[in-house]
Structure 1
């Protein structure tokens, strides 16, 4: 396959991000900030997963949507298989589903906007993909409705103030989802810097027949 070496590199990076995030999402942050219990707001996986959108967008920019989808599918398969060894099965299933749909949405949005100002496509793609990914992952991983996938995480379904600060209470995983989404959106903005810096290095290449 043309560009096979580059595809393998991107797929390996994607797999590393997915496996690391699936493992780290099981660990809430410890301590507090301004009276807010960080464990009610974020898990460590929120800080690693946004890199997946950077990998997808760089692949899409350099090789087009067909290669980007191959990288996503490769990361999906390898990530899910390895994640069954590093995380609970329910986490692996939820992560794989959310990852696949969120990344494919990112690719679609990126392609629609790729001819606009350079930052429009990666930012819009990562934000919309993050919203979809977060909604799917946390509901599949922790909501009682999807208990048929696997047992609940007892800590995740305990009730706590929303975002650790509001009087309204909800299952802790909802606060995690909102906090996770906030970090992903912020990361999407921050990751525009390496994306912009790499634009002059990873220039678009002639498409393959599949693209």
Structure 2
């Protein structure tokens, strides 16, 4: 089993590392490039779940979690213009969001695996992605959780602005979260194509 899921482990590790790097680069006003790579983690998890089962998917997620912890630790040691690239709140939010969302994705996928082929990956990715976004941005930037890291000034994230520049006035971090969630929503649909192709290829090898 270990050798079979190795490609999944490597893919998950690559996505986590790439996302931790690309999150440092802005894409427009509300997103970073990492927002486009991170949702692929759900694709990897769902493929592993479909082909090898829930236990294998959990192993792949655990590997990604460990890689993510290492990336966060490295980020805390690198100083940028405004301090460490990764703060305690960002590291905590990233870890909690990743593990919670991925394990939820696995559970939902497993519950729906007997239905139409597309339903499990779409629903599990949407639910997992929504939880991921909510947990990460709340833990990392909400003013109500400043006690987690009193020395980290995230007041900039609380600036009151129209939602995505055109909606009701909300804290800036809410707009960032909504933009991130919308990307996850779109990619959950688009990922059905590679999901179908990869699952078909791997299933053929295991029969």
The corresponding residue for 1:209 is none
Distance 1:82 1:191, change over 3 A: same
The corresponding residue for 1:201 is 201
Q: Please give the alpha-carbon distance, in whole angstroms, between the structure 2 residues aligned to 1:21 and 1:140.
A: 18
Structure 2: 5+ residue runs without aligned partners?
Answer: 76-84
Q: Please give the alpha-carbon distance, in whole angstroms, between the structure 1 residues aligned to 2:91 and 2:22.
A: 12
Q: CA deviation at 1:149?
A: 3.1
The TM-score, its normalising length taken from structure 2, stands at: 0.86
Q: Please give the alpha-carbon distance, in whole angstroms, between the structure 2 residues aligned to 1:23 and 1:154.
A: 24
Task: Choose between structure 1 and 2 for higher RCO, CA contacts under 8 A separated by at least 6 residues.
Answer: 1
The corresponding residue for 1:135 is 134
The corresponding residue for 1:34 is none
Q: Please give the alpha-carbon distance, in whole angstroms, between the structure 1 residues aligned to 2:20 and 2:142.
A: 17
User: Which structure: greater helix fraction?
Assistant: 2
The corresponding residue for 1:9 is 7
In angstroms, what is the RMSD of aligned CA positions?
1.9
Q: CA deviation at 1:59?
A: 0.7
Structure 1: 5+ residue runs without aligned partners?
Answer: 31-38, 207-211
Give the paired residue count.
194
- More moved, 148-157 vs 131-140: 148-157
The TM-score, its normalising length taken from structure 1, stands at: 0.84
